[in-house]
């Protein structure tokens, strides 16, 4: 069975676990303590960020998107996979563009907004305002349709919502009264579900070498 190194609160790991669970792809889950990474992960060499997956042939999937696309390819839930990653070059390009904006631009400002004290060049408010450029785009788009690409949830939604969850948690009371109502509804449609709280975000102790395997998704 594939092995997934993961960290519960990491937004990249959340999106990888979400797609795996949504598409019913079973893996052995190893919760990593980022301050003391297990030697089995370090021994892989090179990139040791999480999420990181090894399939049963020993192939390595070092990034969250690699894991998500592995699940799309492996799953027997072909219809659901096709909705997440439609067989249309135009739609795939749109998904990639949304994800690139999130990963390459929004994440930069999000990190600074979250840890404004570590980046004294600007104020927390300025960092938030920079992050809000993407927030506004999302909110506008979600005023037109339920998900970023239309009526169906796609890989773009799953790849992005964990980062918006982080954004909303920096100043919860501000976010709650903010003008971003479409975004709030969309975010809640992910994070208020039992699927999210009980399966994706289930708490686990850090993995110890030799312990019994923890199979993920837990149960559906
Ligand atoms: N581009 C990577 C980013 C993964 C990443 O940065 N993960 C963080 C946790 S949220 C991590 O492993 N940090 C520990 C480290 O950098 O050593 C992906 O998509 O998987």
CATH number, domain at 47? 3.40.30.10
Percent of the chain residues topping a pLDDT of 70: 99
Q: Ligand 1, atom 11: nearest CA belongs to which residue?
A: 49
Q: Which atom of ligand 1 is nearest to the CA of 51?
A: 20
- Condensed to tens digits (0 to 9), the pLDDT of residues 111-162 reads 999 999 999 999 999 999 999 999 999 999 999 999 999 999 999 999 999 9
Instruction: Identify whether residues 147 and 204 lie together within a single domain.
Output: no
Instruction: Identify whether residues 171 and 201 lie together within a single domain.
Output: no
Average pLDDT, integer, range 63-86: 98
Q: Tell me the average pLDDT of the chain.
A: 97
In short, whether 7's Cβ falls inside 6 Å of ligand 1 is yes
pLDDT at 218: 81
> Which residues form the domain of 15?
3-81+196-216
Instruction: Identify whether residues 39 and 139 lie together within a single domain.
Output: no
Say how many Å lie between the CA of residue 30 and the centre of ligand 1: 15
Q: What is the 3-state secondary structure (H, E, C) of the chain?
A: CCEEEECCCCHHHHHHHHHHHHCCCCEEEEECCCCCCCHHHHCCCCCCCCCEEECCCCCEECCHHHHHHHHHHHCCCHHHHHHHCCCCHHHHHHHHHHHHHHHHHHHHHHHHHHCHHHCCCCCHHHHHHHHHHHHHHHHHHCCCCCECCECCCCHHHHHHHHHHHHHHHHCHHHHHHCCCHHHHHHHHHHHCCHHHHHHHCCCCCCCCCCCCCCEECCCC
Q: Ligand 1, atom 16: nearest CA belongs to which residue?
A: 49
**Best probe residue, ligand 1, of 4, 10, 48 (max atoms within 8 Å of C-beta):** 10
Question: Total domain count for the chain?
Answer: 2
Instruction: Identify whether residues 124 and 159 lie together within a single domain.
Output: yes
Whether pLDDT at 219 is above 80: no
> Which residues are paired to 216 by β-bridges?
27
d(CA 90, CA 103): 20
Question: In this structure, what token pair is assigned to residue 150?
Answer: 């239309």
pLDDT at 75: 98
CATH number, domain at 137? 1.20.1050.10
Contact 15, 194 (CB under 8 A): no
């Amino acid at each position: 069975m594939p092995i997934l190194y993961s960290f519960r609160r990491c937004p990249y790991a959340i999106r990888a676990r979400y797609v795996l669970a949504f598409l019913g792809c079973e893996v052995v889950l190893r919760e990593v303590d980022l301050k003391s990474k297990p030697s089995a992960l370090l021994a892989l060499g090179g990139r040791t960020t999480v999420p990181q997956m090894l399939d049963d042939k020993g192939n390595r999937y070092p990034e969250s998107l690699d894991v998500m696309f592995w699940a799309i390819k492996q799953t027997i839930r072909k219809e659901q996979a096709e909705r997440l990653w439609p067989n249309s070059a135009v739609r795939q390009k749109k998904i990639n563009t949304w994800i690139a904006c999130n990963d390459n631009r929004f994440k930069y400002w999000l990190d600074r907004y979250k840890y404004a004290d570590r980046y004294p060049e600007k104020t927390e408010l300025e960092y938030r305002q920079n992050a809000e450029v993407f927030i506004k785009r999302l909110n506008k788009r979600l005023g037109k349709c339920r998900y970023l690409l239309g009526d169906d949830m796609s890989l773009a939604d799953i790849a992005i919502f964990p980062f918006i969850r982080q954004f909303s948690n920096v100043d919860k009371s501000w976010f709650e009264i903010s003008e971003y109502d479409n975004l709030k509804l969309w975010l809640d449609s992910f994070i208020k579900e039992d699927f999210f709280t009980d399966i994706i975000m289930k708490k686990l102790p850090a993995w110890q070498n030799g312990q019994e395997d923890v199979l993920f998704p837990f149960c559906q």
